[in-house]
Structure 1
Amino acid sequence: MDALDALLNRVSAPRLTAPAPDAAQRELLFRAALRAPDHGQLRPWRFLTVEGEALAQLGELFARALPADASPEAVAKARAMPLRAPLLVLVIARVQANHKVPAQEQMLAAGCAAHGILLAAHAQGIGAVWRTGDMAYNPQVAAGLGLDGDEQLIAYLYLGTPERELRAVPQVQVSDFVRAWPLIDSAE
């Protein structure tokens, strides 16, 4: 698959099953991530992979992070969340404070690394979906994952084999999102 095809046709695959990407495929996923735009060559990202028994362990961490009065249904849902794919890649932004590269640019670079993984997955026929939700911002989850104070979880990338054929790419009009500047007042 060529680069433009991957860029123009990537879609999320929310229903995933085994097998997970193999070692060679993973190598390509992470090599693509490491090519993200990176002002200052800070490489403001790192990745954790979660699979096998660790998926259930992550589910237990999610369940423990819920409020004490969480319903049994909420606890069951939290435990099941990581089990939606055979492999999770957790994308962590490592922001260097007080650097000439603003924190926002460092966060965007980490987001681009996550997007690189999604594109490389699509190009290899691997199903993938980017999720966040409350567990991406929970301090107890961050501590359980070993995140440092300058780190923030920005993505749970679920990866595996799509359970069904991917949906068609929704068509949008470029003109709905692009304008020339300066804007001309339409009343004139």
Structure 2
Amino acid sequence: MELVDLIKSRRSIGVVDEKEVSDEIIKELLETAVWAPNHKKTEPWKFRVIKGDGRIKLGKEMARIMKEKTADLTEEEAQKKIEKAEKGPLRAPVIIIMAVSPSGIVPEIEEIVATGCAMQNLLLSATEKGLATIVRTGDIAHYPELKPFLKLDENDKVIGLIYIGYPKKEFDIKGIRTPVEDKTIWFD
């Protein structure tokens, strides 16, 4: 597939089979991610691969944090959020959590953008391999209480939880974009 076609065909798909994604494929995805451009070669990205029982452990930790964060809600509202947090990691057989670790060498925004480029490399590589992906965050991803579980440093920031699996069915989701002319101003 031509690169432009791959870019245009990638879609967020969250309906996946429980079929395991091999460690070899996961390593290939990570390898493509690290080839993202980054100013001064700071390589600001960090990856946390969650699979198997690790998904259950992550869900329990997210539920524990959510229980603390929902103390001011009604019991029913709190319970819904806690259950959602606990079940979230079970949506796919693999989750790759991507974080940015600012180096202080270049402006933080450049490190965030570089990590976004790494994420795009990974997503495109997954699409090429016939995998379905969807990136999620939610408030829980940004709570500092999650960092110790993920072995992230205090200044690290989670930029996305990438859920990865084989699609349950064929999807033909049409992509629509605003014409580039509507977003561009040329200066000659």
Counterpart in 2 of 1:186?
none
Counterpart in 2 of 1:39?
39
Whole-angstrom distance in 1 between the partners of 2:37 and 2:65? 34
| TM norm structure 2 | 0.89
Q: 5+ unaligned residues in a row in structure 1: which ranges?
A: 183-188
Maintained 8 Å contact 2:147/2:154: no
**3-state secondary structure, aligned to 1:40:** helix
**Structure 1 residue 68, shift from structure 2 partner:** 4.8
Counterpart in 2 of 1:142?
147
Q: Does residue 1:170 correspond to 2:175, yes or no?
A: yes
Counterpart in 2 of 1:91?
98
Maintained 8 Å contact 2:9/2:175: no
Whole-angstrom distance in 1 between the partners of 2:37 and 2:21? 25
> In structure 1, what residue type is equivalent to 2:103?
Q
Whole-angstrom distance in 2 between the partners of 1:24 and 1:145? 22
**Structure 1 residue 163, shift from structure 2 partner:** 1.8
Counterpart in 1 of 2:9?
9
> In structure 2, what residue type is equivalent to 1:55?
R
- Give 4+ residue runs of structure 1 displaced > 4 Å after superposition: none
Alignment counterpart, residue 79 of structure 2, candidates 65, 72, 79: 72
Whole-angstrom distance in 2 between the partners of 1:68 and 1:178? 44
Maintained 8 Å contact 1:20/1:159: no
Higher helix share: 2
Counterpart in 2 of 1:185?
none
Maintained 8 Å contact 1:118/1:128: yes
Sequence identity (%): 28
Counterpart in 2 of 1:181?
187
**Structure 1 residue 20, shift from structure 2 partner:** 3.4
Maintained 8 Å contact 1:92/1:151: yes
> In structure 2, what residue type is equivalent to 1:15?
V
1:20-55 C-alpha deviation (Å, 9 max, x unpaired) = 322332232112101111111111011010011110
Whole-angstrom distance in 2 between the partners of 1:27 and 1:133? 26
Change (3 A) 1:68 1:171: closer
Whole-angstrom distance in 2 between the partners of 1:41 and 1:169? 36
Whole-angstrom distance in 1 between the partners of 2:143 and 2:20? 27
Alignment counterpart, residue 88 of structure 2, candidates 64, 78, 81: 81
**3-state secondary structure, aligned to 1:16:** coil
Q: 5+ unaligned residues in a row in structure 2: which ranges?
A: none
> In structure 2, what residue type is equivalent to 1:135?
I
**Structure 1 residue 175, shift from structure 2 partner:** 2.1
| TM norm structure 1 | 0.89
> In structure 2, what residue type is equivalent to 1:6?
L
Whole-angstrom distance in 2 between the partners of 1:168 and 1:73? 30
Counterpart in 2 of 1:25?
25
Alignment counterpart, residue 111 of structure 2, candidates 81, 94, 106: 106
Whole-angstrom distance in 1 between the partners of 2:14 and 2:84? 16
